[in-house]
Amino acid sequence: MNPNSRLLLIILTLLSALLLPLALPNELFLDGNPVLGLICLSFFFLALYRAPSFGFASVLGMIFGAVSTVIANYWLVNFGQFSVWTLGGSTLGYIGYNALLAPILYGCAKIKPRYRALLTAAVWALYEYLKSSGFLGYPWGLVAYPVHTVLPLIQFVDVTGLWGLSFLMAYFNSVGAEIIDQVFPLFFNKRKSLPLAKQVYTSWKNYSLVLAAFLIAILGYGTARLLIPIPLEKQFDILLIQQNRDPWERGMHAASVSTARKLTLQGVAESLAKSKKRPDLIAWNETALRHLGRSDLEFFSSTGTYNLVGAPLTISTEPFRAYNASILISPAGQPLTYYAKQHPVPFAESIPLWDIPEVQEFFRNVIGISNLWALGSKYTVFEPPLQDGGTISFGTPICFEDVFPDLCRHFFLNGAEVLINMSNDSWSKTNSALTQHIAAARFRAIENRRTLIRATNAGLTCVVGVKGEILSSIPIFEQNYLLTSVPVYKESGFTTYTLLGDYFAFCLALIILFILIENALQFSLLEFLTKKKK
């Protein structure tokens, strides 16, 4: 391959590295761009199909990983003194991931063309599952997210989970790569005499039936799910506080708490004026308090109802260890129970081998990390009583835990009726960071057919219905409160996803294995017949 062809492959890779961040929620398209989501990876796939070697494919993967991560996640640089690990670490991580993934996708190009699009999509979706799992899991920038607002298209995730949507979107992109490959062969020194329109038709008809079958099934299911009502079991009133101040920013803690208290009293007064009763629950955001003191408990007692607040919960003083916790406080101002965050931000909230003195010394002296959160292990389900009788049970995934599908479904398996996510994203100082978070989180409501509530200090503070629709919200980066009635829906049983979890990822692995085995057997048979003929 000549240098110009290699340069073209790099340009195609850079094009996808730009289109993927533009398809995801960003500063230009706050909700993302669904159309770009259908083609954003096509040029990268095409470049890998035409790469001259496994080594060059790996180089293309590193370019794609570096550029797309920095553009889509540039706001990570605002993560305080940890930006070297957030933006720098995630960029290096995706360079490594894609350096390994790209040669695999390059290998997909070597099998029969009729299988290539399917295999490429399955490999990409399985990769998104793997990179979203475990200690290093970071479910950001997935190809499923650009269509998070297209409700008829995303309803089927209650069956397959998010990974079914990742597969569908990756398949659209891989088909796009196949069509471009056949329509514009001159880029790669291959000549065809067919007119352009004829080439497009010939290329498209090979995949149109499969795509049509996928879309008919998925949109038909989605439309039915949107039209068929889900039983409403009960409702409860909640007051969500968005003080639009970061309590962990230097010099801002007192102002943040003061603002949250003022908004809380305003919201309670409005509730009394409207309905002659207080809200059933008041929720403040993650780490709204640096510690839960006596004056805080006295204030919560003055509200006359249950309060849910994010605050560190000290479990030992020597050495100092604390949970990043959500704490339920009674109307009498007594802490009742808590949930401790289980999934940390890797290398910022939890560091492997931290107990080794040399590791601690490096991170304290070089990076500036002196203490880490202790990690919880229980899926706590809170069950405060409602003023009109009965109770409401809920789980409280903290920070970015609401973007982890398997973690969230365990709250429902343990008896939660709704989720209340408590987050602090104000440190990002960007609209796109906040909209990227809600784009990922809203799938939890659809997967489990349960209401999702988000209590944040900057946005998006909202209530998400069981079909993924935003029922009520506060604009991002606005100082305000949200007093709203939350519907609690309950079907006769759990969804397929709630029951089986990430089974679809294993189905993808089986699809990949089947295609590879079938292709190997056919190749072996062809080789055998060729030798016999000779």
> Does residue 372 lie in a domain region?
no
What is the spatial distance between Cα 458 and Cα 423, in angstroms, rounded to a whole number?
9
Q: Nearest-CA neighbor of 118 among 59, 62, 170?
A: 170
For the record, the structure tokens of 464 come out as 């998400």
Answer yes or no: is 278 within a domain.
yes
- Distance between CA atoms of residues 416 and 470, nearest Å: 20
Same domain, 208 and 269: no
CATH number at residue 335: 3.60.110.10
Instruction: Say yes or no: 471 and 524 in one domain.
Output: no
Q: What is the pTM of this model?
A: 0.90
Element spanning 119, H or E: helix 113-131
> In angstroms, rounded to a whole number, what is the distance separating the alpha carbons of residues 282 and 285?
10
Q: What is the pLDDT of residue 526?
A: 46
Task: Supply the pLDDT for residue 80.
Answer: 65
Judgement on whether residues 198 and 315 belong to the same structural domain of the protein: no
What range defines the domain where residue 95 resides?
3-228+502-533
* Token reading at 244: 């639009």
Identify whether 353 is part of a domain: no
- 201 shares a domain with 263: no
- Closest alpha carbon to 188 in 57, 53, 49, 56: 49
**Cβ-based neighbours of 288, under 8 Å, separated by 6 or more:** 241, 243, 247, 256, 257, 260, 309, 310, 311, 424, 457
- 69 and 212 in a single domain? The answer is yes
Same domain, 493 and 512: no
381 shares a domain with 330: yes
User: Does 20 reside within a domain?
Assistant: yes
Residue 49 lies in a domain: yes
Distance between CA atoms of residues 495 and 237, nearest Å:
26
What is the identity of the amino acid at 135?
F
The token pair that represents 41 in the structure block: 């990876």
Residue 189 lies in a domain: yes
- Which residues have C-beta within 8 Å of that of residue 469, sequence separation ≥ 6? 151
154/40 Cα distance (integer angstroms):
18
Claim to verify: residue 512 and residue 493 sit in the same structural domain = no
**Measured distance between the N- and C-terminal CA atoms of the chain, rounded to whole angstroms:** 33
Which of 36, 97, 30 lies closest to 64, judged by CA? 97
The rounded average pLDDT for each run of 10 residues, N- to C-terminus, in the chain (534 residues) is: 79 96 95 96 94 94 95 83 70 90 90 82 96 89 96 97 97 90 60 50 65 89 95 96 84 87 96 94 94 94 97 85 94 96 80 71 68 87 94 96 96 97 91 95 97 95 97 96 96 94 95 83 52 52
Q: Does 218 share its domain with 279?
A: no
Phi, psi angles (nearest 5°) of residue 463? -120, 125
In single-letter form, the type of residue at position 461 comes to T
3-state class (DSSP) for residue 37? helix
Say how many domains are in the chain: 2
CA 373 to chain centre: 22
Q: How many CB atoms lie within 10 A of CB 493?
A: 9
Domain assignment present for 276:
yes
* Domain annotation covers residue 272: yes
CB atoms within 10 A of CB 383: 14
475 and 512 part of one domain: no
What pLDDT, on a 0 to 100 scale, did the predictor assign at position 202? 55
CB proximity list for 28: less than 8 A, separation 6 or greater: 22
Shared domain for 182 and 54, answered yes or no, is yes
Are 463 and 439 contained in the same domain?
Answer: yes
∠ Cα 149 150 153 (to 5°) = 140
